[in-house]
Structure 1
Amino acid sequence: MDELFAPWRIDWVERDGDADGCPFCVLPDRDADRDSRIVARSEHAFCLLNNAPYNPGHAMVIPYRHTGVYGELTEAELLDLSRLTQRTLRAIEDGLGPDGANTGMNLGDSAGGSIDDHLHRHVVPRWNGDTNFMPVIDETQVIVEAIDDTYEHLHAAFADQEGTRVDDPDDAVRIV
């Protein structure tokens, strides 16, 4: 068995909230945006850093309302989800400077997502050469930056965007 030392994951394992509940419903209701890794909030959606990132800056844009069916989103939720995705891409570009990005959703049981009953859009920054020999030869993904450091970069990049406010540095950036 391969072992990978990841001490930052203990915060996720020991997090508050209902263990049987949907984390995408529980996390935004906590009073701890930074600890929950919620970087930005809009009216109908929020941006959360992925605790098991593919690359540094791997974020998810998630509607507050619990649904796994894309067709159930209202027009306001769809527009807000898209706008927050656009702002997330801009924050990733400004804060991390990748060469590109992947975005997408895993919809339904067979699509491969680990949480299929609360839809979410992945936003993954990509760099030329970010796939190296480790995943190919050793089936090991190397993440080159701590999630807390990534949070700081993206929080600052969101805060620099027009139409945002930060009430408290430990809170998510508010999209107004």
Structure 2
Amino acid sequence: MSQVAPEGAGVPDEYERLWTPHRMAYIKGEGKPTGDDADIEGCPFCEIPKFGDAEGLIVTRGRTMYVVMNKFPYNSGHLMVVPLRHVPDYTDLDTDEVAEMGALTQEAMRTIRAAMGAHGFNIGMNQGQVAGAGIAGHLHQHIVPRWGGDANFMPIIGRTKTLPQLLGDTRAELAAAWGRS
């Protein structure tokens, strides 16, 4: 199979590529508070509930939590359960908040199974910036639906790789930074 690569897209290697340059905003942390002790000001998870549900991508609101679509999903249907209260750590939640987070997680799983036919789920929290939390100052739990042969197996089964930036753009960025560190 012969392919012609777009300018700056690299050498054809029989993989289809899904270019997702819009994800660079997420990767670079644009608009995200930084550090484990990020305060409430500028916290997107504190701002989202101020919007209407459709505008804020809120699926449902609870008494102490809300469920929202992930703006940068790992898979279709990727949701997050987020406390209304700005807390960084699971141990900061009170008993009622822990119970509501669990109940909303269960309901999210049921809903995604019914609406989307998910085969399984990855559910979890990254506690602290060093553990991979994108917004470490405000606790949130991910609910990622999974299907047999989905994104986890893209290169093997689908012969497809997903890339967040065009190779030419990456090259230019690295070339400009080369020797400065």
TM-score class, shorter: 0.5 to 0.7
Cα-Cα RMSD = 2.7
CA separation of 1:24 and 1:136: change in aligned 2, threshold 3 A: farther
Structure 2: how far apart are the matches of 1:34 and 1:138? 31
Query: What percent identity do the matched residue pairs reach?
Result: 38
Q: TM-score, normalised by structure 1?
A: 0.67
- Partner residue in 2 for 1:100: 120
Compared CA separation, residues 5 and 139, structure 1 to 2 (3 A): closer
Equivalent residue in structure 2 for 1:112, among 103, 121, 132 = 132
Please give the alpha-carbon distance, in whole angstroms, between the structure 1 residues aligned to 2:161 and 2:59: 32
Q: Which runs of 5+ in 2 are unaligned?
A: 1-7, 10-18, 31-40, 165-181
* Runs of 4+ deviating beyond 4 Å: 134-137
Deviation at 1:45, TM superposition (A): 0.4
CA offset at residue 140 of structure 1?
2.8
When Rg is computed on C-alpha atoms for both structures, the one with the higher figure is 2
Partner of 1:27: 48
- 1:139 offset after TM fit, Å? 4.5
Query: Which whole-Å deviations, capped at 9, do the CAs of 1:139-172 have from their partners, x for residues lacking one?
Result: 438xxxxxxxxxxxxxxxxxxxxxxxxxxxxxxx
Q: How high is the TM-score relative to the length of structure 2?
A: 0.65
- Residue 171 of structure 2 is matched in structure 1 by none
If asked which structure has higher relative contact order (CA below 8 Å, sep 6+), I would say 2
Number of positions where the alignment pairs a residue of Structure 1 with one of Structure 2: 131
Counterpart code for 2:50: D
